[in-house]
Every structure is written in structure tokens, then in C-alpha cells.
Amino acid sequence: MTIDTSNPLLAPMDQLMDYQSIRPEQIEPAITHLLEKARKAVQSAADPALPATWEAVITPLDDIMQPLWRAWTIVGHLKSVVSDAPLREAFNQILGPVTEFGAWVGLHEGLYQQYLRLKNNPDFVNWSPARQRVIELSIRDFLLSGVALQGEKRERFAQIAQASSEVAQKFSENILDANDAWSLTLDDESRLQGLPDDVIARFRQQAQTDKDTANGDTADEVNAWKITLKMPDYLPVMQYAKDRELRQTLYRAYATLASDQGDTQYDNTEQIERSLALRAEKSALLDFEHFAAMQLETRMADDAPQVLNFLRDLAQRALPFARRDLKDLQAFAQSELGLDTLEPWDVGYASEQLRRARYDYSEEEIKPYLPQPRVIDGLFKMLKQLFDLTFEPTSMKLWHNDAQAFKVFAGNQESLGYLIMDLTAREGKQAGAWVNQERDRRRVSDHLQTPIVYLTCNFAPAAPGEPARLTHDDLITLFHEMGHALHALLGQVDEPGASAFSAVEWDAIELPSQFMENFCWEYPVLETLTGHVETGAPLPKPLFDKLLAARNFQSGMQTVRQIEFAMFDMLLHNQPKGLEIGDVMQTLQSVRDEVAVIHPPAWHRFPHAFSHLFAGGYAAGYYSYKWAEVLSADAYAAFEETGNVLDTAMGERYRQEILAVGGLRPAAESFRAFRGRDAQLDALLRHGGMTALTDQAHA
């Protein structure tokens, strides 16, 4: 097979990618070529005649594997941010071979034996900690990949890996398609009363764009308003729209997305049932009691009972606050809004009205002070002060005009890598916010390969002629994702297999991200990164004080909601076999009966769009958010104790003990190295304003 060497997906690892030149028809030949090279490299690395040294086995294997996974990451990323039919078709065409290859490597007994030989090399004790860690984790992962299986079990394990990948991809596609397919166009602007002017203007622009597209050119100005289910549209309607029927319409559409209660061509019922069945079968083949037990082999938590006990303990601490929050909201809705019955589609609207009444504050007052360019500049200045980092804009041929690339330097001008930010919601872009890594840090012969990191969000686009404006919640999301990005960029581990995203336990990976969220509540930080779109003035201190006073508004309700998701996830996967959809919904109901204070209607289909569980890698791991929040709150408390949360000495300590070490050691050891002790729950409860009632409840 002759390969086109000009194919951008085959670019050398030390060359920056030209994303604009990647075409769907280039994906299959490039990935196929890289897979063939990788298969040969695995066979060569598994040769027992090779000396049991890192240089003979691992270095040549990494030299071939790194370009393959880089190209595949790029393809997956493009499918997430600029998806269209040709790109999706090309991705799905090669998904099977990529999945099959991954399963083949995990089941490769010869390569597994080679890793055992490396571990038993008498010189192994003199290897660097990073190399020792890579070998030890690889041996563990081989066992979890079924390498010890034989015969039909081995064959079935490989089939499950491929089927699981296909199911997750279909689950994700159904959500994206269902979301893109739904819209509501209004011809009566009065139904948008209560919504911010910029949101109404965007709805009108969306309707105008549809008409222009239909006509093939610029059409007459429309008198219509188009609303989608994307977050920049959905959230303002649920939060501000006075029209109760409009809120109910959007609530139902979003709550039934990709389900039997919505557009049934995108129904994810089959994907949920198949996913759970495949996971249960996979764990049984490895002699685990259930999928949760298998997943927890690689986590900080010991077992499912420990996780469930943690969640239930936290629920008992939060429930008194959650019940108080709901009682206050119901009373306000009845007395001030005339809502005798508080329906789920009323909660966001009534909550915003109560927040305004209680704190004389609204998110809309903050937005003019958060123009996106000013926020990014202020964030970079904060990171300069805290970690001595510099972000320099750089020209790269990116996938969309919304994306921006920065080269990141340490204070001594050491190049740390590249950060590519794509922050705007648009059609064909997967919802949510995430960070991914195209290229790892790696020492390659005479030079250091630095990371390339993607930071993706879905904020509202800018109005014509104006900068995009963020909400404070958007700001928190941006800081959260930046925490993940810093974990990759500031790692000092030169072996990819021991990097943060490869080796940090899943229930600790959210520590750096949630840690960063805390700075969004510090006035010195907000003073730096805010600037009114018209005057440039920073956020006024009195307005910040209102924002801060409202920080823990409904924190009890928010906490039990996250616990609900985490318990549902753990109980779903704490089963020896898969579940039918009726049992899935019953599990969810039983969790709500135990920990929830708000109960959605019977037709609500939350699981059908729960991408974290069925397409995002958080299966039996959603508890990680709360688990890691204990770590992150306690870590941030160390900064608070200095009297200056931007203390550079503490920033350097945090960088060295948490970020720089990546996955070089267990996360619990890294936390103890930073804090001098194990994590404590106190800071999390204090940050959430859940102390006084908790003390009363446990008196």
C-alpha cells in the first residue's frame, strides 16, 4: 500500500498540526498506515530475544505508538468540535480497527511477558521512578485488559471492547443529532419577556441565519426568534423567561433528549442496555463481582461500599440544607410569583427571582464586566503571578475561527507546550466542556517534546461587533478546565505512561480543576480579569460582595443533586449483570427517594443523555467529582491559611507536589506531600456554607 506522505495526520511528532488541511478522506488511509506500523512495533517489542531494557523494548514502541494515538486524538477532537456527516462517516469507518487494535495490544501475551521481564530486570531498582511507575501500571493494566484469559473468553473479551466503543460512539451521536435537530421558532417577542437583551438578539440572529440559508443569500430582516437546546440558549430561558409554557416546552425537550419520550429515531435506550450488559460481562470475565469493582482497581477508593458510604455520609450532611433551600424556594414562589405548585421547569426561574430578591444581585449584572478577551488576559496574568507562567499567542492553522492557540512558557522562558482554546458554542460541536491532550511531554533522544492541550467550552457567541460576554458560571467552567490544562502543561514527567492524564487515579483527576474554581470567588482575581464592555472599569466591590453573599445560594440542593448522579452511577454498576431500561429508571428513582429533594416527572429521561456514564469514561466514577472536591477544597485551604490566596511560595509548592509529579506516585501520596496530612472534609463543608445546620443535625 502506497501512503501519501503529505497527509497531515502523518506529520512528524515535532511538527505542529495543520488542522485546516485535514480532510475526511485522509483519515482512513492515515490511521490504517499507523495501525500497521504499530502492529509491527508491538510484535518487535514482544521478541523475547531482546534485552530486557527500556531502550530496547519501550523506546522503539513509544516511537511508533505516539504518532498513532496523536492522529487518533486529533480525529476524535475534530469530530467533537466541527462534526459533519463526512467527518463522522470517516471516524466510524476506522473506529472498529482502532478499537480492535487496542484490545489486541491489551491481550498480547508476548508483550505482557516482556513487561514482566522488564520488571524482573535486576537493574529495575535503579531505573527512574517514572519508568518504574510505567512498567508497574502497565502490568496492572494488562491484567485488566484480559491478558490472562484464554480461548473463547479471550476472544469474547476482544469483541466486548469493540462493541463497547461502538455503543459509546452511537450514544454520543444520538445526543448530538437530537440536540441539533430540535429548535423552536417564535413569532411573538412578548413570549421572551424577562430574557436579557443580548440573548433575545441572538435568538433573532439565529432565525435570520436560517432564513438567509434557506434563501441562499441575505433575506429580508426577519421578525422571528429561534431557540435551540444548546446551553447558551437553554439556560437563559429556564432562568429568566417569564413565560411558563415556554420554560415547560424547553424543559420537556431537554429532559427527553435522545429517548423514547423525544424524537425516537435518536433513542438511546438500546445503547444504555447494551453498555451495561457489556460492562457486566467484561468484569465477569475478569472474575470481578461487578463492573464497579473492576473500575475501582485503578482508583483511590477501595471498593463500592466505601464510595457509597462516602456519598451517603455527605448526603446526610447536605440534606438539611437542601430541604431548607427547597422550602424557602417553594414559599417564595407561592407568595411572590403566584406559583402554588413549584414544577421542575419553574425551579431555575424561581431560584433566579429569589436570588435577586435576597441578594439584590443577578448574573446579568456581572456579564458586562466579563468580556471574554479581558477574562482570558486576566486569567493569564493570575497564572503568571501564581505559577510564573507566560502565554504568548501563536499562529496555528486551527479547525475554526473561534479557536486560539498560545505557547506556554515558564518564568525562565522554558517552553512548556501549547494551549489551544475553543470556547464558543455552535452547530456541530459537542456540548459541555472538556480538556484533551494531543501530544504528551516526552524526552526524545536529544530534545524534549512538549504537550499540546485542547481546552474546549460552549459559551454564548458574541453579538456582531461586540466581544463575547461570560456569566460567572462560565468563568467557573473556564477556570475548572484550565486546572485540567495546567495538570498536563506543568507536568515534569518525561514518560507519557506516567503523565497526569495517563496515570493519576480517576477519582483524583478533578483535584486541579476544582481547585482552580475557588479563585473565581476572590476579589483580587476578579478585579484583574473584569472590565466593563463600555467603560473598562473592573467589577465594583459592592457588586462582588453581593455575588459572594450569593455563593452558597442553594448549595444544599446543588450538593444532593451531584450525590444523586454519583449514587445512581455506582448502583448501576454495582450489579453482577446488565439492567433493562425499566430497572435503570427504577434505580434512579430509588436514589432520588433516598437523597433528592426535587423529583422530576415520570417522563423525564435523564440517563439517556448522561454522556459522562455512557460515552465519557466516568462509568462507576462519577463520584470522583465529590471525592476530588474534598481534596481540592482542602488544598485551597492551604492558600487561604497564608492570608494571600495568590501566595507565590504556596503556588510553587502546589505546582511541585501536585501538578509537576503527574502520575508519578499515587495521588494520596502527592496530597500528603503538599498538605502534610490526609485530606479532611471540613474545608469542603465550609466552602459550601454547610456547617451550622450540620453541627445541629449531628449534635
Predicted local confidence at residue 21, as pLDDT = 96
Nearest residue to 374 (alpha-carbon basis) of 159, 190, 194, 526: 526
Residues designated as active site: 481
Residue 27, domain CATH: 1.20.1050.40
Percent of the chain with pLDDT over 90: 92
Residue 469, domain CATH: 1.10.1370.40
Instruction: Domain of residue 188: give its range.
Output: 182-253
Dihedral sign of CA atoms 639, 640, 642, 644 in order = positive
502 and 632 both lie in a single domain? yes
The number of C-alpha atoms within 13 Å of 489 and in the hemisphere containing its C-beta is 30
Region at 655 (left for phi over 0; alpha for psi -120 to 50; beta for the rest): alpha
Q: What are phi and psi of 423, to 5 degrees?
A: -105, -5
- Confirm whether 58 is domain-assigned: yes
Predicted local confidence at residue 694, as pLDDT = 44
431 and 282 both lie in a single domain? no
Q: What is the pLDDT of residues 176-197, one digit of tens each?
A: 999 999 999 999 999 999 999 9
Cα 38-41-43 angle, rounded to 5 deg: 115
Mean pLDDT, residues 202-228 = 87
140 and 227 both lie in a single domain? no
118 and 194 both lie in a single domain? no
225 and 290 both lie in a single domain? no
233 and 335 both lie in a single domain? no
Q: What is the pLDDT of residues 97-148, one digit of tens each?
A: 999 999 999 999 999 999 999 999 999 999 999 999 999 999 999 999 999 9
- Confirm whether 261 is domain-assigned: no
CA distance 645 to 337: 41
**Structural domains counted in the chain:** 4
214 and 133 both lie in a single domain? no
Predicted local confidence at residue 53, as pLDDT = 97
607 and 630 both lie in a single domain? no
- Confirm whether 172 is domain-assigned: no
- Confirm whether 164 is domain-assigned: no
- Confirm whether 162 is domain-assigned: no
Q: How confident is the model at residue 219 (pLDDT cuts 50, 70, 90)?
A: low
- Domain end (from 198, 219, 253): 253
Predicted local confidence at residue 698, as pLDDT = 31
Other Cβ atoms within 10 Å of 40 Cβ, number: 11
Predicted local confidence at residue 211, as pLDDT = 87
Predicted local confidence at residue 617, as pLDDT = 87
Q: Is 66 helix (H, G, I), strand (E, B) or coil?
A: helix
CA distance 535 to 371: 12
Predicted local confidence at residue 71, as pLDDT = 98
Q: How confident is the model at residue 218 (pLDDT cuts 50, 70, 90)?
A: low
Q: What is the pLDDT of residues 2-46, one digit of tens each?
A: 778 899 999 999 999 999 999 999 999 999 999 999 999 999 999
- Domain end (from 589, 614, 639): 614
Flag whether pLDDT at 58 surpasses 90.
yes
Predicted local confidence at residue 66, as pLDDT = 97
Q: Is 519 exposed, middle or buried (0-12, 13-18, 19+ CB in 10 A)?
A: buried
- Domain end (from 614, 634, 662): 614
580 and 669 both lie in a single domain? no
Residue 610, domain CATH: 1.10.1370.10
Give the relative orientation of helices 581-595 and 555-572 as an angle to the nearest 10 degrees. Answer: 140
- Confirm whether 155 is domain-assigned: no
- Confirm whether 602 is domain-assigned: yes
Percent of the chain with pLDDT over 70: 98
188 and 204 both lie in a single domain? yes
Specify whether the CB–CB gap between 167 and 274 falls below 8 A. Answer: yes
Predicted local confidence at residue 412, as pLDDT = 83
Predicted TM-score of the model (pTM)? 0.90
Q: What is the pLDDT of residues 307-328, one digit of tens each?
A: 999 999 999 999 999 999 999 9
Q: What is the pLDDT of residues 561-597, one digit of tens each?
A: 999 999 999 999 999 999 999 999 999 999 999 999 9
Q: How confident is the model at residue 699 (pLDDT cuts 50, 70, 90)?
A: very low
Specify whether the CB–CB gap between 541 and 523 falls below 8 A. Answer: yes
Nearest residue to 409 (alpha-carbon basis) of 401, 417, 399: 417
- Confirm whether 122 is domain-assigned: yes
Contacts 24+ apart (CB under 8 A), 121-130: 121/52, 121/53, 123/53, 127/54, 128/495, 129/664, 129/665, 130/493, 130/494, 130/495, 130/498, 130/664
Dihedral sign of CA atoms 622, 587, 342, 248 in order = positive
498 and 409 both lie in a single domain? yes
400 and 541 both lie in a single domain? yes
